[in-house]
Amino acid sequence: MPITEHSTRQLASVLFDLDGTLLDTADDLGAALNYVLSQYGKASVSAKDYRPIASDGALGLLNLGFGEDIKNYDYEVLRQEFLDYYHDNIAVHTCLYPGAAELLQQLEANNIPWGIITNKPEGLTKRLLPHYPEFAQCAVMVGGDTLAKRKPDPAPILFACQQINVDNKHCFYVGDALRDIQAGNSAEMTTFVAKWGYILADENCQSWQADHMIDSPTDILGFIK
């Protein structure tokens, strides 16, 4: 899909959230949750229940699985057990969303750098990305613990722009959570809600005040051609 010289000049970069935006990681995160629950004799959580909050990380998932009973356990122990299992089984079920590979290929073909700004810990992100050759040309990656602040603070996004020497005001940011849109808006970027991601059925995404809501990764190409 051709992109005109004018739009290529105007668009400096496309930056993405990871979980629920480029990669569907829910089933591996859910497996980590259910492993920890099994160690304490707790009932497993179904995919329909863990998928909408998969991008909330260990805290959100463990709270889902243990409920109010979590106060009877050492949270840091539970979290470490969760992270250890996830670390060792990080790419069993995880896959790119349909259209993500095509989008990245088109950006690369038109010399538009792209990167990932995620709240997933940097170490886990670095372990995950090499499983997917489509990410080989990722220009920058900022994890949830790369800086002292993370999304919804705009600091990680602005740091990423500095790393690849692009003007944040000429960038897109794409994510599936309110914190993504808040961060992107605060960074003065054009923001996109990834409606295919981990969003509760009754969530009012319109209230997030994103610039655009899209149904597929390739929909972004319509804004830059």
Under the banding of pLDDT at 50, 70 and 90, the label for residue 7 is very low
The three-class DSSP label of residue 116 is: strand
Residues recorded for the chain: 225
Residue 171: the pLDDT is 97
Are 54 and 212 spatial neighbours (Cβ–Cβ below 8 Å)?
no
Positions marked active-site: 17
Are 173 and 152 spatial neighbours (Cβ–Cβ below 8 Å)?
no
CA distance 195 to 208: 12
Asked whether residue 211 carries a pLDDT value surpassing 70, the answer given is yes
Residue 168 tokens read as: 């944040």
Under the banding of pLDDT at 50, 70 and 90, the label for residue 224 is confident
Residue 159: the pLDDT is 98
Asked whether residue 9 carries a pLDDT value surpassing 50, the answer given is no
pLDDT tens column, 110-168? 999 999 999 999 999 999 999 999 999 999 999 999 999 999 999 999 999 999 999 99
> Can you state the angle between helices 26-39 and 75-88, rounded to 10 degrees?
130
Section 9-25 average pLDDT: 93
pLDDT tens column, 64-102? 999 999 999 999 999 999 999 999 999 999 999 999 999
Residue 2: the pLDDT is 43
Residue 59: the pLDDT is 93
Residue 225: the pLDDT is 62
Mean residue pLDDT of the chain comes to: 94
Under the banding of pLDDT at 50, 70 and 90, the label for residue 5 is very low
